[in-house]
Chains A and B, each alone.
Chain A
Amino acid sequence: MNIRLVRVDDLLGMQACNLQNLPENYTLKYYMYHALTWPQLSYVAEEDGKIVGYILAKMEEDLPDDDEAHGHVTSISVLRSYRRLGLAKRLMLQSQEAMATVYKASYVSLHVRKSNRAALGLYRDTLGFTVRDIEKAYYADGEDAYAMRLSLKDLAR
């Protein structure tokens, strides 16, 4: 089980992993866009050449003038058959560190389904995210999202 920075060769595997796990999917070009704009922020968990987990992250663009630079997790997922290894946590920590040190991000944000208790547990209890807002009908199937946030102020050096 190898946790490392994303490479171009990994993108197809990330896409396959995402399609198996989540209903929110993207074409390959969107993965390329992330990796080629912020190459330091996306990480993968790889075993024997297969991508079993990933975090696809970016720095938020289109900021209102007064807002500080912050990171955003577009998508994070681990194959069911590779759960309980703490992969999601480790992937998130690597990405956050990069957001803070390379891009001086003040915080990182993400969206999570209201009903996804497992993910909520990871973000809120394990990683220290707090709920900022509820975005109604955020997901394509109409479900609400918690917009969550974690400060990175103590990570920046």
Chain B
Amino acid sequence: MAPTTTPPARALPARESSLFKEVLHNYEDRQLKKGLKAAETILKKFPNHGETMCMKGLILTHMGRRDEGFDLVKQGVRHDLTSHICWHVFGLVQKGQKNYDEALKSYTQALRFDKENMNILRDAAHLQTQLRHYDQLVETRHTLLRLRPQLRQNWIALAVAYHLHGNLTESKNILAQFERIVKNVPDYDIELSEVLLYHVRVLEDLGEYKEALALLDTHAKSRMIIDRVAIMEFRARLSSKLKSEDAQQAWQGLIEQNADSYDYYRGYLSNRGIDLDALTDETRVQALQTLRHFAEQFSRAAAPQRLALAVAAGDEFKELLEPYLRTRLAKGIPSLFTDLKALYRDPSKRDIIESVTHALLDSLAHAPDAPCPSSIDPTMYVWTLYFLAQHHSHLGRHDKALALLDTAIAHTPTLPELYLFHGRVLKRAGDPYGAARWVDQARLLDLQDRFLNARCGKYRLRAGLVEEAVEVFGLFTKKDAPSPSQDLEDMQSLLYLIEEADAHRRNGNYAMALKRYLAVQKVFDDFEDDQFDFHGYSVRKFTVNIYLNLLKWEDTLRSHPAYVHAAIEASRILVRLHDDPSIANKASSQSHLSEAEKKAKKKAKKAEKKVQEEAKKASANGSNEDKGLEAGPPKDDDPDGAKLLQAPEPLERAAKLLKPLSTLAKDNVQAWAAIYDVAVRRKKYLQALQALQRAHTLDPASPDLHTRLVDFAQRWKALNDKIAENATTVVSSSLAKFIPEDVPPERFNSQYLQAHSTRGDAILGAAKASQLLGAPREEVEAAVFGVLNPDVALQLETAIAVDAFLAEIQSPRVDEFRAAAKAKFPLSTVFAPHAELPALRKSAIGLAVAEVNAEKEEFIS
């Protein structure tokens, strides 16, 4: 379809034509100033020459004048719609903007006018992979291979394309063909080795185990495959699948090579018909025997011993436990409890652990004031106390845990782990301020340790002390960053962003909370973008197996708990905003930046000014500096998040955030609740109801589901402009499955309450529902106070949620509740009267950072 003759507007006379070639060369060599000048010379005479306009726009983009450049490129395209150069440039610039959809469209256009342009084809292939258009990818890779069959990567890329498209058989054929014709391979060629391992994997995925093993063995023998671990792993797996006699030997070999890998023991046992997750009496005996044997053979490895503990039961368990515990307590291993925690799912093992460890403690106990007798190992003593503290706290016995820790600290006051855990127990018991103070003390014991620093920061955030937390984090962030927060965000610290966002949310600072949650969203956008360069790179490097795993990981990227949490919480704020737009105005007027934040703002402004001045200097020189096609990170023009909060269409933004969750977090009730909240307000009633149905399948008794069912019933009843006839019927009949038509919602609510009357969270849910149904406040309050009944197993979380709810409905009984909750959770401080808060907050900080520095200087000088 391409024109056979150059259109008149494109053709240039000899002088300008050679100038244009110069422009292209200059661009390729990144001689940007020269290229710009040459382009401008052409344009003086031919101002509408599309191709030159595009090249000039491209050069301007590289020089940092991105908006100008992009506009010019667009104009250039309009002036020459059949030029492959114009479309190629357009695609390049769009790719640089990460607008992959549009970029691919431009590249596809470019290819119409220059079907066999290798550069364009390659870029198109990368875009097709990024966008998961695998059918198009196969075609493109075919073309590339046809054009240059001598290039090895073109073969591999085509095989990969077929694989991605789901055609493993064709992938296999391409690889086989490639291996037949490849020549001149040096010894120990890592690239060919990787290709062969990929081929083996394809055969395994196809279920052709015999062929896979044959290929593996042939090439392992000839030393064409040189990755020994991979060879052994493939061999073991394939032999097992073929039920070959060699399998056992193969697994044994793997264990010898790495006795610390659980997967290898599992594989060995599985090969003998023993499934560690589904043991019978007979297989239990066999498994134990095998593991004991391995434990003897590999005495330094913990894996066989630990697996044996999982397998053994009763007296045998006790017999294996004692030496396991003793060695590790004597060595002082901090992770011992975490190591054994999984065993607690079995109550008999949990009890055995408790009795054995207490017996051990009794044998080590001595008078607290006297020095440790020589017969007693002080290390073992302290770590046994530490272990038992963790044990009891895990089982909810926080008082006992604290008592054990106090003994330990009196014995060994310099062990940070003791203070850390003391803080953790207080956190669990509802005293975030005490928790922060204890963790701070741990930090002060070793100021060189970033781990302790990070914990301290986290605990301050949990106590709502954002400024103080950032100050502590700042001791380890880059000194030349605009602020500690910026550095942590640049380094993609999801932990920090989430914890700070949560802290702001609890403090009622929705603007900053939203800002941080959206920063998490941006980080995940960057993670998704990171794979792009590997579409070309990994094919060039031939590391195909892990490249395919990368793509698979990227496909479910947003199932990560950090994204899910950020999306749900951000959407909740946006829904609040929709329900009460005045929140946005409150935020901006209340923009009380803390001292630290004001300082950071000043510093950032200064830094920005400096950058601007340098940029001005640079463009004044018309420097050749190539700023690339991608814009740098934008400056932060919304430091307190107020603008974000005021941005329009909160519901649409929320829907976008939540979209991935319907597939990637489909077993998460909170996700469906959040999806409901947005859908129902967008008047998408079917979608809203479907969300409730999904939640119901997962947890029919969920209070979050219950309140929303009532909410939906209310909204549906009040709907004036009903949706389309048939949709109405669907919705009504679906709703009737949850709330039968003849049951008024009030009765539905009280039925729910009756069915779950000992669950604190259900009582709260029913109270919230009755509030939605218009019950008088006193009645709602009375209902919610039901969580304090003695037969209700009240969780700390629920009590906190009730407290928040009472505040929201502006109940005068808040203080009454808080006093009662404090009685239920005696170690807590979260229910302290508001007047006590300033003192509590102050007590959370041991020494201010400045004071610590002053002390340090005293020592040094």
Contact = CB atoms under 8 A, between A and B. Distances in A.
Contact of A98 (B229, B526, B543): B229
Interface in A63-108: 79-86, 90, 94, 98, 101-104
B454 A102 contact: no
Contacts of B260: 1-3, 90
B449 to A, nearest CB: 7
Given A20-B454, A39-B545, A85-B335, 13 more contacts: A2-B260, A2-B303, A3-B258, A19-B491, A20-B450, A21-B451, A23-B478, A36-B550, A37-B543, A48-B342, A81-B417, A85-B333, A101-B228
Interface in A1-31: 1-5, 7-9, 12, 15-16, 19-23, 25-29
19 contacts: A2-B260, A3-B261, A7-B549, A8-B546, A8-B550, A19-B491, A22-B450, A27-B526, A28-B527, A29-B533, A36-B541, A37-B543, A81-B338, A81-B417, A84-B334, A90-B260, A94-B258, A102-B226, A140-B479
A81 to B, nearest CB: 5
A12 B227 contact: no
Contact of B553 (A9, A23, A80, A98): A9
Given A28-B527, A47-B339, A84-B333, A4 B302 contact: no
Give the size category of B's interface with A: 35 or more
A47 B340 CA distance: 11
Nearest to B496: A19
Contacts of A27: 490-492, 526
A36 B593 CA distance: 43
Residue among B450, B478, B552 with most chain A CB within 10 A: B450
B187 to A, nearest CB: 10
B534 A36 contact: yes
Contact of B263 (A4, A21, A22, A35): A4
B538 interface: yes
A109 interface: no
Contacts of B560: 12
Given A1-B260, A28-B527, A83-B334, A36 B450 contact: no
Nearest to B421: A81
A26 B490 CA distance: 9
Contact of A80 (B451, B494, B538, B550): B451
Contacts of B448: 115
Contacts of B549: 7-8
B258 A4 contact: yes
Contacts of A81: 334-335, 338, 417, 451
A151 B530 CA distance: 35
A154 interface: no
A141 interface: yes
Interface of B: 188, 190, 226-230, 258, 260-263, 300, 302-303, 306, 331-335, 338-339, 342, 417, 448-452, 454, 476-479, 488, 490-496, 526-527, 530-531, 533-534, 537-538, 541, 543, 545-547, 549-550, 552-553, 560
B427 to A, nearest CB: 16
A94 B261 CA distance: 11
Interface residues of A, number: 48
A29 B494 CA distance: 15
A40 B331 contact: no
A36 B538 contact: yes
Interface of A: 1-5, 7-9, 12, 15-16, 19-23, 25-29, 32, 35-37, 39-40, 47-48, 52, 79-86, 90, 94, 98, 101-104, 115, 140-141
B342 A32 contact: no
Nearest to B454: A20
Nearest to B476: A23
A156 B527 CA distance: 37
Nearest to B480: A140
Contacts of B303: 1-2
A2 B261 contact: yes
Given A21-B451, A80-B452, A102 B335 contact: no
Given A1-B339, A19-B491, A84-B333, A40 B261 contact: no
| Most B-side CB within 10 Å, residue of A16, A27, A52, A80 | A80
A52 B339 CA distance: 12
Contacts of B478: 23, 140
A152 to B, nearest CB: 14
Given A1-B303, A23-B476, A32 B530 contact: yes
Contacts of A94: 258
A85 B302 contact: yes
Contacts of A26: 491
B546 A84 contact: no
Contacts of B334: 80-84
Nearest to A25: B491
Nearest to B450: A21
Contacts of A4: 258, 261, 263
